[in-house]
Amino acid sequence: MTAVQAALSGALIGGLYALMAAGLSVTWGTLRVINLAHFGLILVGAYLSYQLTSAWGIDPMLTLLVSAPALFVVGAGLQWAYDRFNIVEFNSLLVSFGLLMIIIEVSTQVWTADFRHIDAGANPYGTSALHLGPIALPVSRLVALGFALLLMGGGHLVLERTFAGRGLRAFAQDRTVAASFGIDHRRLGLVVGGLAGVSAAVAGMVFALGNTIAPAHAYEWFGTVFAVVILGGIGNLLGSLFAGLGVGAFSAVVAVLWDPSYEPFVLFLAIILALVLRPQGLFTRRAAA
């Protein structure tokens, strides 16, 4: 029963990993931008939820009414800058890392390096749980899973079923041919960058529901979120969702049945083996690779 509890709890944490990976995956897969500043936007989203809830005592989810539009503008602005200065894929890794460091430093100056958390009185999700017999499912993690299913399922449908989504996928495969068919990649890029910012706002809010917040967290998310993106298939939102759930469950079971200190080693060993066998990602069809 302990392993079942750990697997379910870990899978729910994986919903948060998937939310964090969504914006990074889609901008990398469709726009060929490795936007490490996305981790900084998640951090800002978490701090905005903390600040607005602490100052006004409103429901943390309602803070998205402020943070989501704000980070949409920031995400679109970042994508405009990448496109305006013709920052290619590898250079975007370096430039966005510099932006991430700036965001972390500004966050440290504003909120200090101390751990922050939303008070329990204003956060009904942080300490409550849904009980299914002997299994307890934290509500904050159920919220993470719910948002992951909604955003990533919806994003997948947009990419697969709409003209804009097909245009983005065509642009990712061959920019010259896509442009010859009248696809305005700059306008689509601004929208995608903005929506990636919205996903960062949601991920930050969900993180703040059940965790303390500190600037250093932005660095700690790197390994796991990149693992989710790569295992799921770059640009594959449903793949990232399944990979997030799998990584979360696998990590939790290893930590409980073996030792928490071995969790990173076993996780990344499994990732290496998976990529040797499926370099295009575990949830990407070979024909589409």
DSSP single-letter state for residue 100: H
Q: What is the pLDDT of residues 33-92, one digit of tens each?
A: 999 999 999 999 999 999 999 999 899 999 999 999 999 999 999 999 999 998 888 899
Q: Is the dihedral of CA 14, 20, 26, 29 positive or negative?
A: negative
Q: For residue 116, give the 3-state DSSP assignment.
A: strand
| Amino acid of residue 222 | F
Lowest mean pLDDT among 9-23, 65-79, 125-139, 146-160: 125-139
Token code pair at residue 263 = 């969790």
Taking a C-beta distance cutoff of 8 angstroms, is the pair 206, 16 a contact?
yes
Q: Model confidence at 285, in pLDDT bands (50, 70, 90)?
A: low
Q: What is the pLDDT of residue 289?
A: 37
Question: Is 178 exposed, middle or buried, given 0-12, 13-18 or 19+ CB atoms closer than 10 A?
Answer: buried
The mean per-residue pLDDT over the stretch 253-261 comes to 79
Least-confidence region, from 152-166, 238-252, 272-286: 272-286
Domain coverage including residue 24: 2-288
**Residue 234 near residue 33, CB atoms below 8 Å:** no
Alpha carbon distance 68, 70 (integer Å): 5
pTM listed for this prediction: 0.91
pLDDT above 60 (res 223): yes
pLDDT top residue among 99 and 31: 99
Q: Residue 107 has what pLDDT?
A: 95
Q: Using only C-alpha atoms, what is the Rg of the chain?
A: 19
Number of structural domains (the chain) is: 1
- Read off the pLDDT band of 287 (50, 70, 90): very low
pLDDT per residue over 100-113, tens digit each? Answer: 999 999 999 999 99
Residue 147 belongs to a domain with what CATH number? 1.10.3470
Measured between alpha carbons, how far is 95 from 35 in angstroms, rounded to an integer? Answer: 9
pLDDT at 286 over 60: no
pLDDT at 172: 76
Tokens 């964090």 belong to which residue? 20
Which two tokens mark 45?
A: 């989203």
